[in-house]
A = this chain, B = another copy of it.
Amino acid sequence: MVDVGDKSITRRTARAEVRVRMASATAEALRAATLPKGDALVTAQLAGIMAAKQTANLIPLAHPLPLSSVEVTFGWEEEAVLRIESRAITDGKTGVEMEALVAASVAALTIYDMSKALEKGIEITELRLIEKTGGKSGDWRRPA
């Protein structure tokens, strides 16, 4: 774990996204919140937020971070493609890219878990950083 002691404490944000591709019937069930295990979107949102707080325990060389905020939101892009977006903020010494990616990732995995009785072929895809701000390396935005 590289030394970040000399870095300054500044506001750093990161946004990530991921897509969950499923069959139409699964998407219907998700939207109607009629899955056997309950409301998948609310569950996935909380799972993503809680997982972000575990980032330093999951990613071996990640630094523990004082998270100021984590958000996970959902939107249907196509009839059966759920887009998950996460945003993490810290006022700390290292970036929060990993926290945002972990939140999006575990939210998507939870959607899979809640839906797998209906469909095992669900695909989690295009997990990527959208944007980061703050820190010495400066801001970064995914090219369009």
Contacts of A129 in B (CB 8 A): 120-121
Contact yes or no, B120 A1, CB < 8 A = no
Q: Mark A104-125, 1 if CB is under 8 A from B, else 0.
A: 0110111011101000111111
Contact yes or no, A140 B120, CB < 8 A = yes
- Per the 8 Å Cβ criterion, residues 51-73 of A in contact with B are 51, 53-54, 56-64, 66-71
Contacts of A116 in B (CB 8 A): 97-98
Contact yes or no, B124 A3, CB < 8 A = no
A51-B58, A140-B120 as given contacts; A102 in contact with B98, CB under 8 Å: no
Q: Mark A76-97, 1 if CB is under 8 A from B, else 0.
A: 0000000000000111110001
